[in-house]
Amino acid sequence: MGLFSFLQTKDINSGVRSFLSTEGAVLLDVRTPEEYAEGHIVGSKNIPLQSIEKTESVITDKSTPLFVHCRSGARSAQATSILKRMGYTNIEDIGGIMSYRGKVVK
């Protein structure tokens, strides 16, 4: 980890590839339900940041690999921090869907 590694942006495209190759993983979209309905990545679960505590009732195994994203990367960073405090141990913040080059569904 270099001195300026915090400046590196997350690559949602490689994050989605990692999600697809990780058995039992969950792709967690923390945008609002309205944003999710406008277009989301196939297979993602929508738990908005403002309701992130509901994750415990949806994903009960706290060692489940979670790949978290939002629109630009800000909310996914917040959600990742909260999920860690909630006891989740296998979390990757993959950034924002704005830079996603794959197919989205509505």
Task: Provide the annotated active-site residues.
Answer: 70
- List the one residue out of 21, 19, 5, 4 whose CA is nearest residue 69: 19
Cβ–Cβ under 8 Å, residues 28 and 47: yes
- List the one residue out of 51, 56, 8, 9 whose CA is nearest residue 30: 51
